[in-house]
Amino acid sequence: MDASKRLVNLFFAASTLIAWFIFAKLLASVFVMVGMRDHHLLGKQFTSSTLIGALAAVAALMWTWRHVRFRPLVNEVADELVKVTWPSWEETRNQTRITIVVSIVVALILWVFDQVFGNLTALILGG
């Protein structure tokens, strides 16, 4: 299996798990709002809302997997992601350090301007 196909499968698997979590929590909230009892099926953690959420997530997976426009779009994105040149760990650390230093310098400059103009305004307005 090539890298782009693995990315597509990983995307669909991750999105299904996220959808399952969201659907289960949403259904549990609906059960509480409506006053229905959320029955425990397999212990306290696996309830009716969890099962219905899983079924809804699998249905969403099947719909997106077979969708005429969505699936080719995901394949194209995965093909392009394979072509990306990702930075090395050393480059990432160096760029992060530079970002932190520049942020601190800009914050100090803005603080100095704020102090100067705040005192200047107070002096002019007599405060």
Higher-confidence residue: 84 or 97?
Answer: 97
The reported pLDDT for the residue numbered 127 is 63
If pLDDT is split at 50, 70 and 90, which confidence band does 1 have? low
Alpha-carbon span 109 to 85, nearest angstrom: 35
Q: Give yes or no for residue 11 having a pLDDT over 60.
A: yes
Mean predicted lDDT score pLDDT of the chain: 86
Domain boundaries, the chain: 1-84, 88-127
Altogether, the residues listed in the chain come to a count of 127
Hey, how many other C-beta atoms are within 10 angstroms of the C-beta on 24? 22
Residue 106 clears pLDDT 90, i.e. is over it: yes
pTM as predicted = 0.54
Q: Characterize 53-78 residue by residue with b for buried, 16 or more Cβ atoms within 10 angstroms of its Cβ, and e for exposed.
A: bbebbeeebeebeeeeeeeeebeeeb
Q: Tens digits of per-residue pLDDT, 39-93? A: 677 777 777 888 888 888 888 888 887 877 877 887 788 788 778 888 999 999 9
